[in-house]
Each structure stands twice: as structure tokens, then as C-alpha cells.
Structure 1
Amino acid sequence: MSRILAIDYGKKRTGIAVTDPMQIIASGLTTVATHELFAFLERYLKSEDVETIVIGEPKQMDYTDSELGSVIHAFAKALQEKYPHIIIERVDERFTSKMAFQTMIDSGLSKSKRRNKALVDEIAATIILQTFMDKKSPFN
């Protein structure tokens, strides 16, 4: 099987998470500077077999697009054009950063480590990926 990759797109940083090849476990991979995202994806997709890319879709509480919505839509469109053989999916990402921060607290990370915004973004990407995997699971 192929991996599923998730992206928590941000203005400055983008969190990346990925599954194992059997698509059983979602794990944080890294955080990259957003302006380096396409170069990172180019390198990663050359070395790993990815069948689906899941992009977090930021929504307001009333389900309207957030301020980054149009930027992320354009990013998803460019990604689909560059990699037409890869399925591009979108997942509601509301509250993932808060959930990531709470995960850090629950796992006992120190205050100094919880200030690491890159780690928050990576964990948020993992939550986006796990949400996608849970929705596609035949057991749900």
C-alpha cells in the first residue's frame, strides 16, 4: 500500500504528518517553512509512495472559510495539477491546534516544549490525518 500524507498549512509554518505504508498509524513527520513546502513535497514524493494528500481546511465556527481559505484552496489546486495521480482530500481542521496543545499538556511536555509552535503544527497535522483515517475506516 501507499502512504497518506497530511498537511496543516500555515502562513509561516506547515505541519506534516504521514501514515505507515499499511495506513494503520498516523505519525508526525516534520514542520517546514511554508515557502519551502513545494520543494519539501517534491523531495518527499520522489522517495515515498503517497496515494493521498489530506489538507486541513480551516473554517470559521459558522463553516465559512477562514482568512487562509482562499490561499489553501489555491495551494490544493496547484498540488492537484502538479501531482494528478495523487488524490487530494480536504478535512475540517477547526480546533486541531487547540487539540494539539492539549495533547502536549496531557503527555506531560514542559512549558518550554509546549511553546514550540512547530511541534504544535506537526501534532495538528497528525490530528488532521487521524481524523481522515477515522472517517474512511469501515469500522466507524
Structure 2
Amino acid sequence: MGRIIALDYGRKRTGIAVTDELQLIASGLTTVLTKELLQFLESYIQKETVEQIVIGEPKQMNNEPSESEVEIKSFIEKLTKKLPKIPIIRQDERFTSKMAMSSMIAGGMGKKKRQNKALVDEISATLILQAYLNRM
């Protein structure tokens, strides 16, 4: 089995999470600048076996796509051309940033660390991946 990668895609930064090889546990991997995301993924996939890529699907409360969906779809087209053999799955990402912040508070993380947006993005990607694993 290969790993599953999840992305919390953002205009500036993208949080990345990954499963173990048995696809049981979702863990935060890193946050990268979005402009470097394709290069990062290509490099990671050369080192690790990746079975799927899960990308957060931002929706508004009325279930309509969020504004950022246009950029995400453009990225998915580029990703599909670069890595055509890896399936891309979408996962609803509503409330992941709020949940990430709540988990940081519950874990006793200090205010200064909670202001680290890159860490919030990484935790959000982990929540997206865990939600996907839960529905498998």
C-alpha cells in the first residue's frame, strides 16, 4: 500500500498531511508555499509511494463552492498533467481551520504558536485527511 497525501490548499501556503503506509494514521507533514507545491509533490512522490491525493473542497454554508475553488480547480488540472497516474479525491473542508485552532487550544499550545498560520494549515490538512480516512 502507498501513502495518501492531503492538501489544505491556500493562495499563499498549502498545508500537507500524509498517512502511514498502512493508511491508518493521518499526520501533519509540512506547509509549503503554494507556488512551490507542484515541485514539492513531485519530489515527495519520487521518494515515497503515494496512492492518492486528497484535496480539501472549500464550501460555503449553503453548499455552494467557495471563491478559492476556481484556483483549486486550476491547480488540480496542473497536478493531473504532472501526475496522471495518481487519483485525486476531494474532501469537504468546512470548519477545518476552526477545528485546528480548537485542537491547538485543547492541546495546551501557547498563543504565540497558535498564531503560526503555517501550523494551522498543516493541522487543517491532517483533519481533511482524517475525515477522508473516516469515510473510507
Normalising by structure 1, we get a TM-score of: 0.95
Deviations 1:111-140 (A, max 9, x none): 00100000000000000000000000xxxx
* 1:35-54 map, 5 Å: 35-54=35-54
Q: How does 1:1-140 map to 2 (within 5 A)?
A: 1-136=1-136
Paired amino acid for 1:72? I
Q: 3-state DSSP class of the match of 1:99?
A: helix
| Structure 1: gaps of 5 or more residues | none
SS in 2 for 1:36: helix
Deviations 1:92-122 (A, max 9, x none): 1010000000000000000001000000000
SS at match of 1:103: helix
The Cα shift of 1:81 comes to: 2.2
Shift of 1:20: 0.4
Identity of aligned residues (%): 60
One-letter code aligned to 1:85: K
What runs of 5+ residues in structure 2 fail to find an aligned partner?
Answer: none
Cα distance in 1, alignment partners of residues 17 and 60 from structure 2: 23
Report the Cα offset of residue 80 of structure 1. 1.7
One-letter code aligned to 1:118: A
SS of structure 2 residue aligned to 1:42: helix
What is the alpha-carbon distance in structure 1 between the residues aligned to residue 80 and residue 36 of structure 2? 18
Alignment coverage as a number of residue pairs: 136
Letter matched to residue 96 of structure 1: T
**Structure 1 runs of 4+ off > 6 angstroms?**
none
1:70-90: CA deviation from partner (whole Å, max 9, x where unpaired): 110111122122211111000
How far does the alpha carbon of each residue in 1:16-42 deviate from its partner, in whole angstroms, 9 at most, with x for none? 000000101100000001111011111
Distance in 2 (CA, whole Å) between partners of 1:52 and 1:14 is 17
TM-score norm. by structure 2 comes to 0.98
